[in-house]
């Protein structure tokens, strides 16, 4: 009687093993275990690198302008951003009286919306001079040419000037833009003029 029970157990074990192998073969013949083409990366995030160096802050701003990415632009700015417009823009526009990060975000978001259906945006920073003020404070001086192909007929699509960016390292070790001074070059519209148009 015991031999019969052992044989039945053995037969059941063999049956289950064969069934498991058959199921594996059936599953492997379908697409469940086959490789598939990788999906395209999510592009909504845009181009952004963790700002471990001052240069990466500059690169992130350049990429945000090129992509008109308001989120990444905002991520590069200090909560206590101090912006000093050109003398002409400050004398003409009252919006700069209390300009801070909030206004900077508002202008850029408005401009990005107006430029959403076009491409070819970009900023060229020329004649760069990079000064180390301290281990946690760097200063960039450069001339700029900014092009934004927006749909607002009352605002310039290209502006030029000279900027001074102070980039500082926070307690978390990451760098961020804390101070921004804009200077005009003759009578050419400046970045300050563009900001004034899109904050209104």
> Is there a domain that residue 163 lies in?
yes
> Is there a domain that residue 41 lies in?
no
> Is there a domain that residue 7 lies in?
no
> Is there a domain that residue 35 lies in?
no
> Is there a domain that residue 14 lies in?
no
Angle between helices 191-199 and 101-114 (to 10 degrees): 80
> Is there a domain that residue 161 lies in?
yes
Pairing of strands 137-147, 77-84: unpaired
Q: Please tell me what DSSP assigns to residue 52.
A: S
- Range of the structural domain that residue 86 is part of: 54-199
Q: How confident is the model at residue 15 (pLDDT cuts 50, 70, 90)?
A: low
Reply yes or no on whether the pLDDT at 182 is more than 80.
yes
Q: pTM (2 decimals)? A: 0.76
Residue 155, Cβ neighbours under 10 Å: how many? 19
Percent pLDDT > 90 in the chain is: 72
pLDDT for position 200 = 74
The count of structural domains within the chain is 1
What CA–CA distance (Å, rounded) separates 180 from 103?
Answer: 13
Per-residue pLDDT tens digits for 50-82:
999 999 999 999 999 999 999 999 999 999 999
> Is there a domain that residue 19 lies in?
no
CA neighbor of 75 nearest in space, from 96, 51, 53 = 51
> Is there a domain that residue 23 lies in?
no
Using CB atoms within 10 Å of the CB of residue 103, give its burial: 0 to 12 exposed, 13 to 18 middle, 19+ buried: middle
Output the domain CATH number for residue 135: 3.10.450.50
Per-residue pLDDT tens digits for 81-137:
999 999 999 998 899 999 999 999 999 999 999 998 889 999 999 999 999 999 999
Length of the chain counted residue by residue? 200
């Amino acid at each position: 009687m015991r031999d019969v029970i052992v044989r039945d157990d053995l037969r059941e074990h063999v049956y289950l093993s064969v069934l498991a192998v058959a199921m594996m073969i059936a599953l492997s013949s379908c697409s469940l275990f086959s490789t598939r083409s990788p999906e395209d990366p999510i592009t909504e995030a845009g181009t952004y690198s963790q700002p471990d160096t001052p240069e990466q802050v500059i690169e992130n701003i350049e990429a945000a302008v090129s992509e008109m990415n308001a989120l990444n632009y905002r991520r590069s700015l200090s909560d206590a951003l101090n912006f000093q417009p050109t003398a002409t823009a400050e004398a003409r526009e009252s919006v700069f009286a209390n300009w801070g990060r909030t206004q900077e975000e508002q202008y850029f978001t408005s401009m990005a919306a107006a430029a959403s259906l076009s491409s070819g945006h970009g900023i060229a920073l020329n004649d760069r001079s990079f000064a180390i003020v301290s281990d946690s404070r760097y200063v960039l001086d450069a001339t700029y040419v900014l092009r934004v192909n927006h749909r607002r007929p009352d605002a310039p699509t290209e502006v030029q000037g000279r900027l001074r960016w102070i980039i500082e390292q926070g307690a978390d070790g990451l760098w961020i833009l804390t101070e921004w001074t804009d200077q005009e070059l003759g009578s050419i519209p400046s970045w300050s003029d563009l900001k004034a148009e899109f904050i209104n």
